[in-house]
Amino acid sequence: HDHGLYSAMQALETETNTKLCVPHANDAVEYFRSVVMAGRWDDLLRLVRK
């Protein structure tokens, strides 16, 4: 795995945890984590660019 990209992902996850004060915040984090584990970087980047 690209360590730099993984670090950026961790930072994004932290930011998501901080900013999303809604009931589904954990679901969002789990989605990000599942994307990382599946290596679906294209999907992640597409989401981030929205």
- Cα–Cα dist 36/30, whole Å: 10
Q: How confident is the model at residue 36 (pLDDT cuts 50, 70, 90)?
A: confident
pTM for this prediction:
0.30
Average pLDDT over residues 24-48: 73
CB 6 within 8 A of CB 36: yes
Tell me the CA end-to-end span of the chain in Å, nearest whole number.
24
Please state the φ and ψ torsions of residue 10, each to the nearest 5 degrees. Answer: -65, -40
Q: What is the pLDDT of residue 10?
A: 78
Express each pLDDT in 15-29 by its tens digit.
766 554 444 557 777
Average pLDDT over residues 2-16: 75
